Amino acid sequence: MFIRNFIFLIVLSGCSSFQEIKGTVDFDGTFTNSDKFHFKKCLSKLDTNFKLYDLSVTGFAENITSEGLEFNTKINAKLSVEVEGSEEVMYMESSRVNTTNYISSNMAEEENKRLREMLLDDFCTILLKNA
């Protein structure tokens, strides 16, 4: 009885994690694991092969008050992409403005993660339209 339930659990978990991947996405060392997961999830429906490299995400404060508090933090991201079958390299750039100022470092870190994902979504949208 236990073995039958255990086998059923293994089969069920294997089927739930199965995802059909049509194309491949190659990354260089500038991507975090969450970035790679985000792009693979976004581009999994395409049967095109991509090579993504030189991802840079930088942030800076556009406006600093006399107390040293940052407001209107701007985040820029740049990405280079090679698409299989095309000899030209696409250079993409996107930016977002964060108008909230969190004193708590945990809240600021979560906001930066959210903005980074939004920038990656911008790149995915461009790749989905052009591929």
What is the total count of domains within the chain?
1
DSSP state of 88: S
Note down the domain range covering 103: 21-130
Q: What's the CATH code of the domain at 68?
A: 3.30.160.150
Write out the H or E segment, with its range, that includes residue 116: helix 105-130
Upper half-sphere CA count for residue 54 (Cβ side, 13 Å): 10
CA–CA separation, 60 vs 76, rounded Å? 9
User: What's the token pair of residue 69?
Assistant: 């508090």
CA–CA separation, 108 vs 112, rounded Å? 6
Q: What is the pLDDT of residues 87-120, one digit of tens each?
A: 788 899 999 887 666 656 677 778 888 889 999 9
CA–CA separation, 106 vs 90, rounded Å? 35
Q: What is the pLDDT of residues 36-61, one digit of tens each?
A: 999 888 888 888 888 999 999 988 77
Residue 11 is assigned to a structural domain of this protein: no
Residue 95 is assigned to a structural domain of this protein: yes
Residue 7 is assigned to a structural domain of this protein: no
pTM strictly above 0.75: no
Residue 122 is assigned to a structural domain of this protein: yes
